[in-house]
Amino acid sequence: MTIFQAPKGTYDLIPPDSAKYLAVREAIAAPLRNSGYGYVETPGFENVELFARGVGESTDIVTKEMYAFETKGGDRLALRPEGTASVLRAALEASLHKSGNLPVKLWYSGSYYRYERPQKGRYRHFSQVGAEAIGAEDPALDTELIVLADQAYRSLGLSGFRILLNSLGDKECRPVYREALQGFLRGLDLDEDTRHRAGVNPLRVLDDKRESVRKQLVGAPLLRDHLCDACKAYHEEVRELLTAAGVPFEDDEKLVRGLDYYTRTTFEFVHDGLGSQSAVGGGGRYDGLSEMIGGPALPSVGWALGVDRTVLALEAEGIELRLPASTSVFAVPLGEEARRALFAVVTGLRRAGVAADLCYGGKGLKSAMKSAHRSGARYALVAGERDLAEGVVQLKDMESGEQVPVALGSAVEELGARLV
């Protein structure tokens, strides 16, 4: 019988690599938890209309990449292609914005799905950690999120990333720019799909990665030249706060991001060691998204950082994370009586917070010690009938090879002291 394989464009996370992904998620989440962000978890699928309205009907995500399906009951659902719309929907449904304590700060972690051409760094199933601050319009809030992402990456030892920053204006000044850009695009040699995209949301064309399109965009009007005074002042405040916080950034007037809901501040974290798929994360302000999905006016800002891309960035910089040992003590029982005795010791070690495991299956000494070495344990506990008759177990240092007897009743305390 053929063994089933993971669907094309997806992957399994298995030990020992999975420990690295867990460490990356924890490193990204840690500064968020220390800054007032509470954890939120949403379903893996939502109503199709949530993403059509929120992400944008002109985006590739909605038109080409979203996994959409109809249930037996006739509901049109989609696997979530991104996190912001779902988190905002959850916050609105729970009326978190009515608590009187704005902004509502939330962070999340999970898998997301897009039908894309699989390649290194771009999968059909991918993992993200994200953060959203809902219900406040403040340059300091935008800056806070950028600083927290920068802090997370630096805590992992990353240094080869860059922060790209731009402003997309607001409902006052973006229509003026939109008209100027559409006028410019009408003079280009574009295919029918791109012309349609230019009619719905011309900023989407600026995000086109095809060289044939990018060459024609040289000389396109810049949004920064069309920002209203309020947006200019807002953006300058973000820049000044980032500079004061010691977080370097680069102005990128063509940075658009792939979602329609962004306004004002937009940013991207890129790592040049990843080749064409250089973005490791990004986000921005989305002041009108709440109204788009049926909620009240709630100016908000957020980001999502790719766990997969972050792991690739670590590999590109040759960074090996210091991961806690999955097993510190490996117990090797020789005989039925020893199995019972060492099972009790292992249970006591685990209750004391020591990572411990037991050799199962009645293996002989040679085979069991091979398992001990493979486990990566610092110490092995070995016991046979003679040891138990003397009330001891053999404690072996797996690094030095030194072996000493310790009293069975004090094995937990002895190992706890050695592993401090």
Q: What is the CATH number of the domain that holds 399?
A: 3.40.50.800
Q: Is residue 217 part of a domain?
A: no
Q: Retrieve residue 63's tokens.
A: 């038109």
- Beta strands (DSSP E) in 186-343 are 250-251, 263-271, 279-285, 300-306, 329-333
- Residue 307: beta bridge partners? none
Total domain count, the chain: 2
- According to the model, what pLDDT value does residue 171 have? 85
Pick from 259, 291, 316: which residue ends a domain? 316
**Final residue before a domain boundary, out of 316, 351, 370:** 316
What pLDDT does 254 receive? 80
Residues 387 and 260 in one domain: no
β-bridge partners, 113: 125
Are residues 145 and 48 part of one domain? yes
Give the pLDDT of residue 59: 67
CB atoms within 10 A of CB 98: 12
pLDDT for the residue numbered 195: 85
249 and 116 in a single domain? The answer is yes
Q: Is residue 304 assigned to a domain?
A: yes
Specify the DSSP class assigned to residue 119: B
355 is in which domain, residue-wise? 329-418
CA nearest to 347, candidates 417, 414, 412, 409: 412
Q: What integer pLDDT is reported at residue 391 of this predicted model?
A: 93
Is the residue at 404 inside a domain?
Answer: yes
Query: What pLDDT is attached to residue 260?
Result: 64
Say if residue 410 is in the same domain as residue 297. no
Please tell me whether residues 312 and 333 are part of one structural domain: no
Whether residue 310 sits in one domain with residue 242 = yes
* pLDDT in the model for residue 16: 87
Domain identity same for 160 and 28: yes
User: Quick one: pLDDT at residue 217?
Assistant: 85
Whether 156 and 82 share a structural domain: yes
**pLDDT tens string for the chain (420 positions)?**
888 999 998 999 998 889 999 999 999 999 999 999 999 999 999 999 998 887 776 667 777 888 999 999 999 999 999 999 999 999 999 999 998 889 999 999 999 999 988 877 788 999 999 999 999 999 999 999 999 999 999 999 999 999 999 999 888 888 888 888 888 888 888 888 888 877 877 877 877 778 888 888 888 888 888 899 999 999 999 999 999 999 999 999 888 765 667 889 999 999 988 877 789 999 999 998 999 899 999 999 999 999 999 999 999 999 999 888 889 999 999 999 999 999 999 999 999 999 999 999 989 999 999 999 999 999 999 999 999 999 999 999 999 999 999 999 999 999 989 987
Q: With 0-12 CB in 10 A as exposed, 13-18 as middle and 19+ as buried, what is 273? A: middle
Which distant-in-sequence residues (6+ apart) come within 8 Å of 58 by Cβ? 196, 197, 200, 201, 204, 260
Give the 3-state secondary structure of residue 418: helix
Residue 357, in any domain of the structure: yes
Kindly state whether residue 222 falls inside one of the protein's structural domains.
no
Q: In what order do the strands lie in the sheet with 263-271?
A: 38-39, 104-113, 125-134, 300-306, 279-285, 263-271, 161-167, 250-251
- Work out whether strand 403-407 and strand 263-271 pair parallel, antiparallel, or are unpaired: unpaired
Q: Which residues are CB-contacts of 97 (< 8 A; sequence separation ≥ 6)?
A: 91, 104, 134, 135, 295, 296, 298
Domain end: 290, 316, 342, which one? 316
Q: What single DSSP character describes residue 188?
A: S
Domain annotation covers residue 369? yes
> Could you tell me where the beta strands, DSSP code E, fall in 26-114?
38-39, 45-47, 68-70, 76-79, 104-113
Shared domain for 311 and 368, answered yes or no, is no
For residues 118 and 249, membership in a common domain is answered with: yes
Predicted confidence at residue 352, as pLDDT, reads: 93
pTM (predicted TM-score): 0.88
Length of the chain: 420
- Residues 310, 334: one domain? no
List residues forming the annotated binding site for L-histidine. 82-84, 114, 128, 132, 257, 261-262
CATH code of the domain in which 76 resides: 3.30.930.10
Percent helix, strand, coil in the chain, to 5, is 40, 20, 35
Please tell me the number of Cα atoms within 13 Å of 86 on its side-chain side. Answer: 25
Same domain, residue pair 91 and 164? yes
